Each structure stands twice: as C-alpha cells, then as structure tokens.
Amino acid sequence: MASIAAVLDNNSAITRRYGPGLVAVFVGGTSGIGESTARAFIRNTDASHAYLVGRDQARAAEIIRELQQMKPDAQITFIKSDVSLLREVDDACSLIQRNEDKVNILFLSPGIGTMKGRDETDEGLDRKLNLHYYSRMRFVQNLLPQLVKGADITRATESQPSLSRVVSVLEAGSEAAMNLDDLSLKTHYSLRNCAKHAITMNSVSMEHLASHYPQVSFIHSFPGIVRTRLNRDLGTVAKCAVNALVAIAKPWEIPFNESGERHLYAAASPTFPPLAYKDSSIDPAEGSDGRNGSGFYRLSSDGSTYKPSKIMERYRAEGVRSLIWNHTVSVFAHVHNKVSV
Ligand SMILES: NC(=O)c1ccc[n+]([C@@H]2O[C@H](COP(=O)([O-])OP(=O)(O)OC[C@H]3O[C@@H](n4cnc5c(N)ncnc54)[C@H](OP(=O)(O)O)[C@@H]3O)[C@@H](O)[C@H]2O)c1
C-alpha cells in the first residue's frame, strides 16, 4: 500500500526525476479520473504538454483555462473525438503524432456507465466494450512508436531515467474466464459479460504488450469508488440506485483529487519499472502482475499490486494471451478495411 504522503512526495519529485517537458495523453481527460489525473500531472510537472481527448468541448475549455492559470508554462491541447469509433481513435492519434516525437504517459479512462444491452456502432462493435477495451488498445498500438521514443533508453541515465507508461483505468483484480469463442460478444452479450471481457482482455493484452515492449510499463488499475460523472447516461431509476450505493460506500470513497494524485503515482512512480529496468536473469515469460520479470502491473485503489490471477496464469500457460491479442489486431484490421473501402 502506498500512503497518500508517499504518493504526494513521489509526485512532487517527478520533474527532478525525469526533467521538464513530459508529454501525456489523457483519453477521457474531460471528466472524472482522467481529469483529476491530468490536473495532478500539470500541478506536478514543468513545461509539460497534456492532451485531453473527449467529446465535451465546453468542459475541456474550462479545465484548460484553470490549468493554464495554475501553470502558464504548460501546454494543454483538447482533441475532440468520439473514441467509441476506431476511425476517430486513428484520427486523434495522427494528430498527436504530427505534433510529438515522444509520449511519456498514455492514460486511458474513457468509459460509460450505461445499462443498455449491446449497442452496436457502425463499425460493428459494442460501444461500451469498445470504450473499455478495443479503442484503448488501438491508442496503445498506434502510439507505441512514440512511447518507445519516450523511453529513450539509450539516453536515460541513473540520475535522469526515462518514463514511458500506459495506464488503463477499469477494474484490475476482477479478471475472470471469458467466452473464448465470442470475444467481442456478438451473440453472448450481457452487462456482466461485457465487464468481464473488457477487464480480462485489458489485463491479458497489456501483459502481452509488456513482454514485447520491454521499454514500456503497463498498468491496469482499479480506482476504488470515486465520485465522477460516470452515471450521467443512466435512467432515473438506475441513477438513484447508483447514488444510494455510493452514499452507503461513502466511508470507502476516494476523493477526486486524491484519485488523481494516486493515478499520477501509478503513471510516474519508479515503483513500476518496465521490464528493461528489471533483473535480466528473470525469464519474462514467467512474469505477470509485476512480481517477476514483467513490466505489467495490476494495481488496487491503494496503489498495491494484486496477487497473481489464477485465470491469467491459466491463459498464459494455454497460449490464450496470443489468441486474445491476435483477435484484437484482427478486429482492428476488419474495421480498417471496412472504413477504407
Ligand atoms: N468512478 C468510479 O468509481 C469507477 C470505479 C471503477 C471503475 N471505473 C472506471 O474508470 C473509468 C473512468 O471513469 P470515470 O469515473 O472517470 O468516468 P467519467 O467521469 O464519466 O469520465 C469518463 C470519460 O470518458 C469520456 N468518454 C466517454 N465516452 C466517450 C466517447 N464516446 N468518446 C470520447 N470520450 C468519451 C468522457 O469524455 P466526454 O464526456 O468529453 O466524451 C470522460 O472524459 C471507466 O471505465 C469506469 O468504468 C470508475
């Protein structure tokens, strides 16, 4: 567990550790956990550049105005994008790539709290599963060249190490067995399956990527209960039920600003190094959960890592990890071909 004092102390040392001019992309940075982490990032860094990706231009303008007042040397750019569509993810990434050689932090928290059933976009994917999984991985896949540059291991020194990290905020710790014959839930859709598939595919794919990109750390976090705007699309009854649950859970609620500082800690603390900075005698194939030779970590709301997950161990042993990444890449190719014809 990381105490809040240790978290704040670590965050205040970010510029000393990595230097000024860090670049961070916050997909879902216009509200909730993404917004609070973007605010913590600007507060704790110098001459940095943050991208806020979302749809709500008015909220973005308000956040940017406040942050710019607090840190005039920061550059904050809003990218208006409906990331429930992979083609819009590609456009947002192209814009970032035109401006930046490197990305140090890719922070992924786009999401919706809908109780609707399968809601298919014109790309043939469920909107919620896409926001919680496919579009996040599409951002990662597109921005990997910039993340690898962010790592710049050849230029990093012990006194000034490099930073290259992907953080996906969903529900690490709740990985469960999936329907492997219907990963995108064409015929087995339910809210429970959607949550299960999004959570487990996030963890399995990020573990896979961590073993292929040893310069980059990958983190899947469970934020705990944070009062955000996640319930805004719910109907009146569901909204009342969620509000009642949040009221009951008040003693466990994580305040908005604390959540941002804790997620910035996840995104920049040296506690979560990539594989390249770990003991090279450890076989990366064995590692998971950041315990052994892996640069992938599953974090709980207090910043500690979860015990290894049984289902992930089984999936690793049975080769399911590659199956899931191959499925993801083939979904991307299928959507891309549909868009280009
Ligand atoms: N809050 C909690 O207690 C909690 C607990 C467990 C897990 N989580 C998970 O954490 C993640 C973040 O949740 P949050 O509480 O921060 O929610 P939030 O306050 O509703 O923020 C969600 C963000 O996603 C963006 N977004 C939603 N749909 C989008 C779309 N189609 N295109 C582009 N951006 C879109 C929103 O931006 P725009 O409005 O600008 O489009 C907003 O910035 C979610 O995946 C949620 O399931 C949250």
How far apart are the C-alpha atoms of 288 and 228, rounded to whole Å?
Answer: 31
Task: Give domain status of residue 141, yes or no.
Answer: yes
Encode the chain in three state secondary structure: CCCHHHHHHHHHCHHHHHCCCCEEEEECCCCHHHHHHHHHHHHHCCCCEEEEEECCHHHHHHHHHHHHHHCCCCEEEEEECCCCCHHHHHHHHHHHHHHCCCCCEEEECCCCCCCCCCCECCCCCEHHHHHHHHHHHHHHHHHHHHHHHHHCCCCCCCCCCCCCEEEEECCCCCCCCCCCCCCCCCCCCCHHHHHHHHHHHHHHHHHHHHHHCCCCEEEEECCCECCCCCCCCCCHHHHHHHHHHHHHCHHHECCHHHHHHHHHHHHHCCCCCCHHHCCCCCCCCCCCCCCCCCCEEEECCCCCECCCCHHHHHHHHCCHHHHHHHHHHHHHHHHHHHHHC
Among 83, 228, 252, say which to mutate for ligand 1: greatest number of ligand atoms within 8 Å of CB.
228
> Are the beta carbons of 163 and 264 closer than 8 angstroms?
no
Q: Diameter of the chain by CA atoms?
A: 56
Does residue 246 fall inside a structural domain? no
Ligand 1 atom at minimum distance from 60 CA? 40
Residue 74 located in a structural domain:
yes
Which tens digit of pLDDT belongs to each residue from 215-260? 999 999 999 999 998 888 888 888 888 888 888 888 889 999 999 9
Lowest mean pLDDT among 53-62, 107-116, 159-168, 233-242: 233-242
Smallest CA-to-CA distance from 162 within 235, 210, 215 is with: 215
Q: Whose CA is nearest to atom 37 of ligand 1?
A: 54
User: Atom 8 (ligand 1): residue with closest C-alpha?
Assistant: 170
Mean pLDDT of 113-141: 96
* Residue span of the structural domain in which 210 resides: 4-227+254-336
Please give the structure tokens belonging to residue 307.
């015990």
Which has more confidence, 335 or 180? 180
**CATH number, domain at 110?**
3.40.50.720
For the chain, the residue count is: 341
- CA of 65 from ligand 1 middle (Å) equals 21
Distance 156 CA to ligand 1 centre (A): 34
Q: Taking a C-beta distance cutoff of 8 angstroms, is the pair 240, 232 a contact?
A: no
> In angstroms, rounded to a whole number, what is the distance separating the alpha carbons of residues 149 and 325?
23
Residue 137 belongs to a domain: yes
Q: How far apart are CA 293 and CA 304, in angstroms?
A: 17
Does a structural domain hold residue 234? no
Domain count, the chain: 1
**Separation between Cα atoms, residue 52 and residue 146, nearest integer Å:** 17
Residue 232 lies in a domain: no
In terms of Cβ atoms closer than 10 Å to its own Cβ (0-12, 13-18, 19+), residue 190 is exposed
What digits encode the pLDDT tens for the residues 67-86? Answer: 999 999 999 999 999 999 99
Taking the centre of ligand 1 as the mean of its atom positions, its distance from the CA of residue 30, in whole angstroms, is 9
Question: 63 C-alpha to center of ligand 1: Å?
Answer: 16
Average pLDDT over residues 26-32: 98
Angle between helices 32-44 and 57-70 (to 10 degrees): 20
First vs last C-alpha separation in the chain: 51
Could you give the dihedral angle defined by the CA atoms of residues 113, 118, 122 and 128, in that order, rounded to the nearest 10 degrees? 30
* Residues facing residue 181 across a β-bridge: none
Angle in degrees, CA 191, 138, 118, rounded to 5? 20
Q: Give me ligand 1 centre to Cα 96, in Å.
A: 21
Q: Does some domain include residue 172?
A: yes
**Of the given ranges (31-35, 159-163, 232-236), which has the lowest mean pLDDT?**
232-236
Model confidence band, residue 285 (pLDDT cutoffs 50, 70, 90): very low
For the stretch 254-283, pLDDT in tens is 999 999 999 999 999 999 999 988 755 444
Ligand 1 centroid, distance to 214 Cα (angstroms): 29
In a domain, 341, yes or no: no
Which residues, listed in sequence order, are joined to residue 12 by a DSSP beta bridge? none
Residues 174/193, Cβ–Cβ less than 8 Å? no
Q: Which atom of ligand 1 is nearest to the CA of 88?
A: 32
Measure the CA–CA gap between 199 and 186, rounded to whole angstroms. 17
Contact between 124 and 41 (Cβ < 8 Å): no
Specify the residue for token string 């506690």. Answer: 271
Q: Residue 144 pLDDT > 50, yes or no?
A: yes
Q: In the prediction, which pLDDT does 282 show? A: 45
Q: What is the pLDDT of residue 289?
A: 57
Give the position, in ligand 1's atom list, of the atom nearest the Cα of 225. Answer: 3
